A and B are shown apart, each in its own frame.
Chain A
Amino acid sequence: MSNQILISLESYEKDFMDFQERLSEIRKSNPDQFIAFGKGKILASGESMEKIKENLEKLRIDPTKTVIEFVSKNEIRMIV
C-alpha cells in the first residue's frame, strides 16, 4: 500500500514539474482549456473537467492520479 502511494507520488510530482516546464507552450497550443498531462505529453484536453474525465476514462487513465490543470490564454497573477 505505502509503496504504491510512493510510486504514485513520485510519478505525479514528475508529471507536475514536466507540465510546469511546458506551460508556456501549452498556453499557446491549448488556451483556456483543462489539460490532463502525463508521461511528458498532453493526455487529454477539454473545456470542462467532466469532458476531461470522460476522455481519460476512455483511455483507461485514472483522473485522480493525473495532473489536470486549467491553462488560461493569459497568465493570471495573484498575491494570496
Chain B
Amino acid sequence: MGIKIPLLKAVSLGYERDMVTFSIKYGSLPNFYATAVIDTGCPFCIISESTIQKTRINYKDKPVHHKQVWLGGILFELRCLGECEIFFRDNQNTPVPFKQDIYVGIPLSLKKGTILSQQIPCFVGKDFLDKNFLSIIRSKDGNTYLQEID
C-alpha cells in the first residue's frame, strides 16, 4: 500500500484550501511545525517568513535561489535552506519522512510588517509532489488525501 496522507480543509488567505500539517528538521536544530497549502501551481516548497521567524534559523544568510518570484501579485525573494527532512502523518497515524529542498519566501513588494506580508502561508509545491509521485485524491467519503500513485 502506497503513501496516503490525510489533508485538512482549512481557510488560508480567505478561501478554503487543501492544507497539511508537517514537521521540518533543519540541520541539528529541533523540528519545527507548520501548516502549508498544497499548491500544484507552486513550483517549490516554501516556508513563509513568519513561520521561519518562530525558529532560530538565520535564514537571511542563506543563498538567494530566485531574486524575483511573483506569487499572487506579491514579489518574493526565495532563499534556499537546502535539503531538509520533512515529516507528515499518514492515514495509519505513522510519521512519514521525506528529503526535500526547502525555500524561505521573503516578500519584497510589500513593506515589512504589513498585514498581507504577515499572512502569506507556507506552500507544499509541485517539486515535492512530482518527486514522490503524490497526487491530491478526493475520496467519496468527503476526505482528501495526498496519495502515492503507481
Interfacial residues, chain A to chain B (CB-CB below 8 A): 2, 5-6, 8-10, 12-13, 16-17, 20, 23, 32, 34, 48-49, 53, 63-70, 72, 75-80
Contacts and interface: CB of A to CB of B under 8 A. Distances in A.
Contact of A76 (B14, B21, B32, B50): B14
Contacts of A68: 50, 54
Nearest to B57: A64
Contacts of A67: 35
B94 to A, nearest CB: 7
Contact of A72 (B21, B22, B71, B119): B119
A21 to B, nearest CB: 10
Interface residues of B, number: 36
Contacts of B53: 49, 53
B95 A5 contact: yes
Contacts, number: 94
B115 A32 contact: yes
B11 interface: yes
Contacts of A66: 54
B13 A76 contact: yes
Contact of A78 (B13, B41, B42, B88): B13
Contacts of B30: 64
Contacts of B149: none
Nearest to B30: A64
Nearest to A11: B33
A10 B8 CA distance: 12
B100 interface: no
